[in-house]
Amino acid sequence: AVSDEELKKRIAEELALERARRDSEAQKRRLFGKLLERERISSNEHLTRAILRERAATEEERQKAQRFARQLEEKDRELKKHDAYYKEQLARLEERVKPFF
């Protein structure tokens, strides 16, 4: 009878140890899952911020290119005005000196 009681006690202890081990493993899995979820969220946030920064930089570059294009067009108009003025002046001078040649 003593060995049966001892055997039952030992089985109960082993079952308790096995339950505790399983509970510990389950808790580790839950913690690991939470850590993985936090890391995923952090990575997504980092990626989102990087995408937003890149979009902002792209928009800034686009606006800068438009500004430069407008400046170039203005400079081109200015050069065409100067060209027309100088051609007009040259034509006047040629008219003035025609009688001498």
User: What's the half-sphere exposure (Cβ side, CA atoms, 13 Å) at 50?
Assistant: 6
Its pTM stands at 0.55
Q: What is the pLDDT of residues 30-49, one digit of tens each?
A: 999 999 999 999 999 999 99
Q: Running DSSP on this structure, what letter comes out for residue 98?
A: G
What letter represents residue 88's amino acid?
E
pLDDT, one tens digit per residue, over 60-89 is 999 999 999 999 999 999 999 999 999 999
